[in-house]
Structure 1
Amino acid sequence: MASTMSRKADPDHSPAERVAWRHALAGLAIVAGLALQIAQFAGITLAPHGVGYLLWLSTALLWRDLPPRNRRQAGWLAAIGLSLLLVAHLVFDADIAWWAILDGNTYVVAMLVGVSFIGLIGNLRGQSRPPGGQAITGRRGLAGTWLGVHLLGTILNLSTVFMVGDRLQRRGPLSMPQLLGLNRGLSSAAWWSPFFASMGIVMTLAPEMDYATVVMLGLPLALCSGLLTLLELPRRFDLSATAGFSMSPRSLLMPVAMAGLVMLFHYGLTPQLSIVSIITFLMPSVALATNLSRGPAWTLYRLRQHTLTRLPAMRGEISLFLCAGLLTQGLSTLLDAATGSGWTLFADFGIAQASLSFLAIVASAVAGLHPIIGVSVLASMLELAPGEQTLFAFVALSAWAIGTSVGPLSGINLSLQGRYDVSGTRMMRHNLGYALVMALLVVAVLWLLAD
């Protein structure tokens, strides 16, 4: 009895300590997976499937910490994907490389991990008025919130929502217009930002897409999202006392500099690497180099903190993308085995097919599925010719931008729910009209392309 009581009193065996050890091991596994991925870019293949094994190991260690809804969704994706692989093998005698089934979407997860290191560069300083000062309100304040999250989010991704949202929250609980500004400002960046997971997924599924064309189509739609927000929300809400985010020109230096570096590597220094690959190694390198100005000890301290806290906190994103990758692999393998690699959803992927696919993915997002699921399933059922890949990319990015804004289980809406205690269903209701207008604009752009 005494020994039992001493073990219970021993802090080394406390639940908090066990959680800390799991998070530490998971963070180390994620960092090791990123390092292996970067090594492969340099032609050094230490373990052909090691990246996938390490990232899945981190997911297993962090599984119990996932919110129940995320855990159910990711679990179903993985279970269905594995079941489809088993059916393909047992029923259709498909030859499956079982040691490689965990590789799906590891490129994108590695990019997400690499982008997370940008948080080591620093916080947004001097970009909002102090709580005691006079806040920018009304339509101008809303414009600052949307634009600030949109521009800074192109590089810093979801962390920008928390940075801006926490500053706005200093004046009191966030109102619905503020939450909608955060939501739409970030989700609309999926139309064109090369640093978003959406672009990483699309570049993996459609490697021959023309990025310049996608940006030429997506950037105006992102601007339409901002204009629609500025026209719609003041009609529905009283913004006279709603504080907005105030940006300074200095705050744009980092996003512009990082985008310039990516283009320099892509077109000059490492043209053989994709943008996803460049972002994966460039973001951590710049972040660590910036911290080295304060000495190696400081840099190691920041790296340790990032590994132990920030990386385990990415468990929702990592698990969702990995499980969706397994689903895609299972579905595509079964379709190939059952049809002899001769069946596709559409014989040709034209404007009509693109419109139907886009609307179906957005509808599935409203029903609660993350757009990555719809995009991945669609890609597994298509045989895209090189000339069709840019059209597919535009459809996927548009569905992602709109689907994540309105979907109650998207990453940004789950984050807003957890951080600021807002109902996901309520957010979805307030975004339905916005999603409908933006969807009509996307379909109009698709049919204009046919002319």
Structure 2
Amino acid sequence: MSLPDSTPTSLRHALAGVLILLGLVQQILAFAGIVILPHGVGYALWLATLLLWPDIPRRTRWQAGALTVIGLGLLIASRWRYEAAIAWPTITSGNTHVVAMLVGVSFIGILGNRSSSKRPLGHPVTGQRGTLGTWLGVHLLGTILNLSTVFMIGDRLERRAPLTTPQLLALNRGLSSAALWSPFFASMGVVMTLAPDMEYSRVLIIGLPLALLSGVLTTLELSRRFDLAEVAGFSLSPRSLLMPVTMASLVMLWHFKLTPELGIVSISTFLLPAVALASNLPAGPRWTLYRVRQHTLMRLPAMRGEIALFLSAGLLTLGLSTAIAAATGSEWTLFAHFGAWEAILSFLAIVASAIAGLHPIIGVSVLASMLDLGADRQTLFAFTALASWAVGTSVGPLSGINLSLQGRYGVSGYRMMKHNLVYALVMSGLVIGAILLLDQVSQTAQAFYSGHTYSETR
């Protein structure tokens, strides 16, 4: 097979692309316990970001620069003011696992041969049905593949035309609402660590219907605000679902049967590029190496915006968490008792902090550090944390989903925040009702078991 001429690229871009690929390779090797250079993933990705810094869009460059300066400033202040122990060689490691996953998922772009990517897409599904299809496709597949699903479906929609606001909002809300119940989401992993005695079944019974209401709300609200007649959506036909469902099935197989010790994000990081490479091997190793070279030199440097935002946001998170831990290291607790109204106040505070630019993981972690939760209160805390994560990531301009949409498709995180304010307000009302219901159910169950235990002891 003859190879087309390579598109010329500068030495700086080529070196940055190689460094990004090196960061991915180091992350994959780390899964097997092979560490070439401690914290080398972060070093490679940050060095690539510095090389590509002049090419990052000015708005994104300003935002990433501000996050980096604030994060470093907080670390320096924590060390100087509170004498906090700072592991300086590790400060470049924030969000590197997420960035490595994004880089790995990008290899889906070389899936199959070049001609197969040019197949006609057929007649698009539009209107409310198309918008609901986009939300549902991202939600169902995103519960397993997380953020990678947004790129799978978003890139497919973008092949027709640049993504419109309704399409971006459907992608945003479809993924963020999965945090309400998905056991494979990063949010659930964090919450299970903070509240090990939570009852997942109760969270599922309330979280899943709430997530479905999010889909109904999204479809109705977007159809009222926008003309969806010509807005293409994701078709839930077998043909369009074949690749995402296949990828999801492979990830689940690896997670449950082959490498149960690895999380979904870690498996996606190495499995998706491996499948993409394997799909090119029938055309010969020379063709496969050519595709990898082109992807490394062209596509990876083009990810500079999203890589810079995630790395700088990770540094900010580290600085904030370090400063907060240093300043509140006493035994003081926020609430003497964590009930429904305390949960509601905590939920509103975390969502408000997300709107101000903090990732919900910061608010959730800080809240957990200031509470003394008994086993009977951990389910309420868990749902509060998951709900604040779901609503906060949808509206927060610096959340993972909005940073990804900004870096990938060029939409401002603050524009997404503006369009999601009404949605967040309505969802907050539903969450407050769910918190009150869950607290009442928990109290009733506790009273029943207490009375039952008392009658048995008589």
Same fold (TM over 0.5): yes
1:27 to 1:159, Cα distance in 2 relative to 1, 3 A: same
Q: Does 2:128 match 1:129?
A: no
Query: How many residues are paired up?
Result: 422
Change (3 A) 1:315 1:192: farther
- Match for 1:106 among 96, 99, 104? 96
- SS where residue 157 of structure 1 aligns? helix
- 1:439 counterpart residue number: 428
Contact kept? 1:138, 1:240, Cα under 8 Å: yes
Comparing 241-250 with 300-309, greater Cα deviation is found at 241-250
Aligned equivalent of 1:66: 56
1:57-112 alpha-carbon deviations (Å, 9 max, x no partner): 12222223333332233222222222222222223333322212222222222222
The Cα RMSD (Å) is: 4.0
Query: Structure 1 residues 396 and 234, CA, compared in 2 at 3 Å: closer, same or farther?
Result: same
Please report how far the alpha carbon of residue 443 of structure 1 lies from its aligned counterpart in structure 2 after TM superposition. 2.9
Structure-2 separation of matches of 1:340 and 1:161:
44
Question: Does the CA-based 8 Å contact 1:191-1:219 persist in structure 2?
Answer: yes
Q: Secondary structure at the match of 1:47?
A: coil
How far, CA to CA, are the matches of 2:79 and 2:73 in structure 1? Answer: 10
Q: Measured at CA, do residues 331 and 390 of structure 1 come closer, stay the same or move farther in structure 2, by a change above 3 Å?
A: farther
Identity of aligned residues (%): 61
1:203 paired to 2:203? no
Q: Distance in 2 between matches of 1:403 and 1:342?
A: 28
Secondary structure of residue in 1 paired with 2:10: helix
Q: Which runs of 5+ in 2 are unaligned?
A: 1-6, 442-458
C-alpha displacement at 1:28, in angstroms? 1.4
- Counterpart of 2:306 in structure 1 is 317
**Could you say which residue in structure 2 is the equivalent of 1:157?**
149
For normalisation by structure 2, the TM-score amounts to: 0.75
Alignment of 1:235-274 (within 5 A): 235-237=224-226, 239-240=228-229, 244-274=233-263
Question: With structure 1 as the length reference, what TM-score do the two structures score?
Answer: 0.76
Instruction: Give the aligned residue type for 1:129.
Output: G
- Residue 351 of structure 2: which of 340, 350, 362 is its match? 362
Task: Supply the distance in 1 between the matched residues of 2:208 and 2:309 (Cα, whole angstroms).
Answer: 27
State the Cα distance separating 1:37 from its structure 2 match. 1.6
For the residue of structure 2 that corresponds to 1:311, the secondary structure is helix
Call closer, same or farther: CA 1:118–1:62 in 2, change over 3 Å. same
Displacement, 1:382?
3.6
Equivalent residue letter for 1:255: P
Distance 2:85 2:252 in 1: 40
CA distance in 1, matches of 2:40, 2:191: 21
1:414 deviates by 7.3
**Structure 2 residue matching 1:91: 3-state secondary structure:** helix
Counterpart code for 2:365:
A
Residues in 2 aligned to 1:348 and 1:74: alpha-carbon distance in whole angstroms: 39
Shift of residue 249, structure 1, vs aligned partner: 1.0
> What residue in structure 2 maps to residue 308 of structure 1?
297
- What is the one-letter code of the residue matched to 2:362? S
Mapped to 2, the partners of 1:413 and 1:272 lie a distance apart of: 29
CA distance in 2, matches of 1:218, 1:361: 18
Farther-moved stretch of structure 1 (427-436 vs 271-280): 427-436
Distance 1:45 1:435, change over 3 A: same
What does 1:36-51 correspond to in 2, within 5 Å?
36-51=26-41
Letter in 1 for 2:237: S
CA-CA distance at 1:120 after TM superposition? 2.8
In structure 2, the CA distance between the partners of 1:379 and 1:350, relative to structure 1 (3 Å rule), is farther
* Partner SS, residue 271 of structure 1: coil
1:322 is displaced (CA, Å) by: 2.0
In 2: Cα distance, 1:297 partner to 1:73 partner: 41
1:375 corresponds to: 361
Residue 345 of structure 1 contacts residue 382 of structure 1 at CA under 8 Å; is this kept in 2? no
Distance 2:317 2:337 in 1: 21
